[in-house]
Amino acid sequence: MTKRLLFSIIIFVTFITNLSAETPEILINPSNEEYTRLSSGLAGSNITIISKEELKLYQNKSLPKIIESYSGISTRTTAAGYDGVYTTLDMRGFGETAKSNTLILINGRRLNDVDMSTINSHIPTESIERIEIIRGGSAATLYGSGAVGGAINIVTNNKDIINSLKTSIGSYGNKSADISLFTKINDQSSAGLFGSQTTNSNYRDASDFDESNILLNMNHKVEDITLNIDVMSMENEKDLPGGRIKGGEVYNYHICNRYEDSKTARNIGGSTLENGDSCNTERRVDYANTEMDSINASVVVPLNDMNKIFINAGYRDKTDKSFYGANANTASTPDNSDRYTVTTIEGNNFNSRYETKQVNETHSNILSIGYDFAHSFYDSTKHRKEDEAMGHQIFANLKVRSLYFQNTTYVNESDLTISLGYRDEKSMFGARDEIDKTAPGFADIDYGMFGIYPVIYDMTTHNDTTSNQAFNVGFEKKLNRGLSLYASYAESFRIPNIDERVASSSP
């Protein structure tokens, strides 16, 4: 059925491409107001472009809050989600799996990690040229796995930046500063620097938050060849206050953390007894910290006015460190159920794309053919506490290779746009699980209801290779200056993340 549909669409596109008529308008002209939205080649898709002028209207709002104000997008936050940190953007209502079904990109580069960790990259709004919101699965043809609900592409600005320094002070100890600097080195070179620092105590006890970001952009032109380099570094530290219990108190643990007693107190420990007098005020504070560094280089090589080659290569290294304590622990006496986790994700990516245009009086056509490669390494170790031996390690790696094309035809006389795209992606996943039963806290402990699931287990090495395909077809017909008719059909996919492939509740 799918092959028959694709064949019919190709015949239809070929027929439309050969229509002839005279018109002075060429829709792919960059001066046309619709150029930015249609330049993706995804005709008929539900696309919103947030320009830098619109972004200026949202003063003192985080990027997730700005994007959430547009239709079809909601946010999910944990740990107060201050300034957009630990915030998940959800397109098309995927709920808890939104991280794996909403694709976030910077300049077309994926930010989603191979596990279910939250995307914490803080991007100053001053450094953004525009934000492309592509709803539905059409973007999977261009960007691959994870765009089932949609994709959000943040395009940064590397020129014409106004030097600025902004500071703010607010309630709960909120202090923030943002800096933007730009210099034109010569006619061929420029550099931009963006930085931010934020500190906040928040309304909950033990929920302090600190974050710093820096983004360095360098742009250089040699004749017609453009070289762009982005270097980004981010660090944040967040205390986790834990939950409060509202109703249904049974054990001391519940009674010690009653919401009715305090809305702002942090979660403290308590036993599973029912005598109501054994709270653990010495319980350690949970926390989650993140460090991330990345570098990316891109080159645009024009072969002539109608043909270009785009090449992009990048590397990213992210480390998450977190501690989650059991009810009975203290700073001096750890509990065997305490867990300190260090997760490192590093990866490299390579993308290349060839773009060719055809323009004449009757129609114009843009064809993009691309190849993507990405290799990610995942290493997660668990300990009872920071200075103790490792008890559990999961190591995994994921290779992804993709070929795709996207073709868009503009029929000038009819004000009709037709697009067709296809992607074939192959992913190779491997994982290994190691347990050290001699490590403190990793012997003879059961997790799960009534101890059904033993924590101490040893998975064998796992290898898996899968192939997936995505395609889209769409059209747009302009009926008059203010009214257009459009429709699209797309099939997308996502590959399982590491937390789905292995037990995320493992020791």
* Tokens describing residue 33: 């107001």
Residue at 265 is within a domain = no
| Nearest residue to 216 via CA among 275, 280, 297 | 297
Residue at 376 is within a domain = yes
266-277 tens-digit pLDDT = 998 888 788 766
Q: Which helix (H) or strand (E) holds 316?
A: strand 307-324
Output the CA torsion 127→128→129→130 (10° steps).
180
* Tokens describing residue 164: 């600025």
Q: Kindly report the CATH number assigned to the domain that includes residue 405.
A: 2.40.170
Please list the residues that pair with 468 across neighbouring strands. Answer: 425
Residue at 264 is within a domain = no
Residue at 42 is within a domain = yes
User: Please, are residues 154 and 105 in contact by the beta-carbon 8 Å criterion?
Assistant: yes
DSSP symbol at 117: P
pLDDT of residue 161: 74
Spatial distance between the Cα atoms of 401 and 426, rounded to a whole number of angstroms: 5
Spatial distance between the Cα atoms of 420 and 367, rounded to a whole number of angstroms: 10
Assign 162 a pLDDT band (cuts: 50, 70, 90): confident
Residue at 270 is within a domain = no
Residue at 300 is within a domain = yes
Q: How many domains does the chain have?
A: 1
* Tokens describing residue 432: 């290994």
86-118 tens-digit pLDDT = 678 889 888 888 888 999 998 888 888 766 666
Question: Whole-prediction pTM value?
Answer: 0.83
Please list the residues that pair with 319 across neighbouring strands. Answer: 291, 344
239-292 tens-digit pLDDT = 999 888 888 777 888 888 889 889 999 998 888 788 766 788 889 999 999 999
Residue at 364 is within a domain = yes
Q: What is the DSSP string of 21-47?
A: ---S--TT-TTSTTHHHHTTS-TTSEE
Q: What is the DSSP string of 262-275?
A: -SSPPP-EE-S-SS
Residue at 266 is within a domain = no
User: Please, are residues 103 and 89 in contact by the beta-carbon 8 Å criterion?
Assistant: no
> Which domain range does residue 372 map to?
2-241+285-501
